[in-house]
A and B are shown apart, each in its own frame.
Chain A
Amino acid sequence: MAMVKLALLAAVAVAALACGGSSGGAPTTGSTIILGAPLGLTGSLTKESILTQQGYNLWQDWINERGGIVVNGVKHPVTIKYYDDTSNANQSAVLMQKLITEDKANFLLGPYGSAATATDAAIAEQNEIPMVEANGAAQSIFNQGYKYTFGVLSPANKYLQGVIDMAATLSPKPATIAMLSADDNFSLEVAEGVNTYAATKGLNVVLYKKYKNGATNLSAEVQAAKASNADIVLNSGHLQEAIAINKAAKEQKVNAKIFAYSVGPSTPDFITALGKDADYVYGGSQWTPQVKYTPAFYLTVADYVTAYKAKYPGLGDPDYHVAESTAACLALQRAIENAKSLDPKKVRDALAALDVTVFFGQVKFDSRGINIYKPMVVEQIQNGAHHTVFPDSVADAKPQYPTPAWDQR
């Protein structure tokens, strides 16, 4: 067997040599494409940054198994170069510049979080190199008129709109909302999205309360939500705050019909940290392992979950951070293929014109570069497991509604 392989290899080598000088032939393997990505591998965003890196690496393995990205019949292997930005947005921008000037990155993948994505987008723009990002959902990034930044994920204002849509279909229909929000850009956009959208579905926001991003004590906020007697308690913040609010809601006996948090419930940490108290909580999600999309290329949803579990055993299903990060790579891959070139400007134009459906959903950018075409889904934790409950077309379970009072669980 080895002999046969050797002979084949020799034949290919001779053929390649023979064609080498002529204009008609081309080598099967071209230069390596370098992608640059600063990530918060240490610091406060370590958790999410590692999920992002997992998503990027899954695709890198897959594409390199196939020899690389095909441009005009030539296969270009891919190397993703990472730097640790210590979860600091300014440091992220410095490293992005370093990736471009010193490491000669051909294209850029986004960092984790809206803050770092915003600073990195400016660097991509200055250098006219496309950045495809998966983890910065604040629309403020896309309202700067940038032409080189593309986000595959649904923008921040849509994060909790799915919950509102779902609430409008439930019986008895909830009527009032208490909205708590951290004061960072992303969280505020999520909250503003709810505030403007709720009325269109006949819901009334009776409390809108902002708190300091990273606050460790939220009992007074939860008390305000209780006093408002709202049917729906929404939080737009981060995992740590979602856990603190859920604990305080139980302690202070806040009995809303729906508890939904923008970020947090979709992570396994939320369930392990809270145990049974995590049940009935809703969350908006970019993606769940239960969604049903028919991909034009790459893996199906089921195969993606299998591939993730094989590469990262013991971590359970991939969460949406992983999936959207892989989707960013896929968007870049397809744009390079469509552009038939590694020229940054041509790839940028191909990204702007991209319209493709992958396991993550439809990837298509509006004129600002954000993907407003993919819907958000709603998850609910039922008996310690994640279930997709809305929209019906992708749901694998019915919403458990209304949430029982704390002393009746």
Chain B
Amino acid sequence: MDAFVQLVILGLLAGGVYVAVGVGFGLVWGVLNIVNLAHGALVVVGGYITWQLFTGFGLDPFLTLPLDAAALFILGYALQRGVINRIIRAPLLFTFLLTFGVNLVIVNILLLIFGSDFRSVTPAYSGQGLELGSVVIPYVRLASLGAAILLAAGLAFLLNRTRIGLAIHAISADRDAAQLVGIDLRHAYAVTYGLGAACAGIAGGLIAMIQAITPTAGEPYTLQAFVVVILGGLGRVSATVVGGLAFGLVEAFGQSIPGSGSVFANAIAFGLMVLVLVTRPQGLMGRLH
């Protein structure tokens, strides 16, 4: 029983990271209709900012998260305004090409600045945790889950309760009509991409504490974000939260299958994704337009 509880906890805690990785990706996909292949690279940029502030200035890694978000928002805003906006109405293939290219450029700039060394943020309290009997809840992962949920809640608030958020909603519903009623499309697009990048930055900060990062480490996160968003359903932040936690749980149980079960953890997650696509194309929680 304890082993089962421990596995559920580990799965949910891992899911927290997937939520953080997924929300920004889902936002950009839902509103701009861009599958952002540079998302993983932006995650890694966030990781490096946290690492730099932690090792260079001794800043607590959790305090660096708002700075990650701010820096990545600016980067994302500029990237969308200057580069990605040019293909906003182009066929899907062009968006793949361009975002993949952006991904390569970011990765190689990181390689030039930081080299290919593996880095990780290991604060003094790293590895400590709450012990309930034989069940352990690591503090850093718990706080990461908390940060991810806060991030999702903040994003949902921004999208549903603020002027710019409503403008973003309007665009995702009908971009021409939104333009007709006076919404500045270019600005709103750039803000959307900036928000997506900011979420990626926070995810990167969390990942730097749990994993090791290197400039090329971003690829799996793009893939995970993709699965998480499809699992949960496009168009709602809360759906991504469900998708992320579900992905974490499925992965944990997949990994716990004896022998080579872990090898199939990804296959199981992708299988589930296909199943969801077949039976509920809108995702577990998504709404059909």
Q: Is the CB of A240 within 8 A of B3?
A: no
Asked whether any CB of chain A lies closer than 8 Å to the CB of B119, the reply is yes
Q: A210-B263, A223-B10, A274-B122 are in contact. Are A50 and B116 (CB under 8 A)?
A: yes
CB contacts (< 8 Å) of A244 on chain B: these are: 210-212
Minimum CB distance partner of A188 in chain B: B260
Q: Is the CB of B259 within 8 A of A243?
A: no
Minimum CB distance partner of A278 in chain B: B122
Q: Is the CB of A210 within 8 A of B260?
A: yes
Q: Is the CB of A47 within 8 A of B255?
A: no
A247-B261 Cα distance, complex, nearest whole Å:
22
Pick the interface stretch among A22-30, A53-61, A128-136, A250-258.
A250-258
Which one of A47, A227, A250 lies within 8 Å of B118 (CB-CB)?
A47
Asked whether any CB of chain B lies closer than 8 Å to the CB of A44, the reply is yes
B25 CB to closest chain A CB (Å) equals 15
Q: A46-B116, A183-B263, A220-B255 are in contact. Are A251 and B122 (CB under 8 A)?
A: no
Most interface-central of B118, B136, B259, B263 (chain A CB within 10 A): B118
Q: A43-B216, A44-B216 are in contact. Are A247 and B126 (CB under 8 A)?
A: yes
A332 CB to closest chain B CB (Å) equals 27
A227-B2 Cα distance, complex, nearest whole Å:
10
Minimum CB distance partner of B266 in chain A: A212
Q: A247-B126, A252-B136, A406-B127 are in contact. Are A273 and B259 (CB under 8 A)?
A: no
Within A270-314, which residues are at the interface with B (CB < 8 Å)?
Answer: 270, 272-275, 277
Asked whether any CB of chain B lies closer than 8 Å to the CB of A217, the reply is yes
A152-B259 Cα distance, complex, nearest whole Å:
33
Which one of A44, A210, A220 lies within 8 Å of B7 (CB-CB)?
A220
A247-B116 Cα distance, complex, nearest whole Å:
20
B114 CB to closest chain A CB (Å) equals 11
Q: Is the CB of A269 within 8 A of B118?
A: yes
CB contacts (< 8 Å) of A227 on chain B: these are: 3
Most interface-central of B7, B211, B253, B258 (chain A CB within 10 A): B211
Asked whether any CB of chain B lies closer than 8 Å to the CB of A13, the reply is no
Minimum CB distance partner of A243 in chain B: B212
Q: Is the CB of B262 within 8 A of A215?
A: yes
In the assembled complex, 11 residue pairs joining A and B whose CB atoms fall closer than 8 Å, in A order, are A43-B216, A47-B115, A87-B216, A216-B211, A217-B14, A217-B211, A220-B7, A244-B211, A247-B120, A247-B211, A269-B117
Residues of A within 8 A of B (CB): 42-44, 46-47, 50, 87, 183, 208-212, 214-221, 223-224, 227, 239-240, 243-244, 247, 250-253, 267, 269-270, 272-275, 277, 406
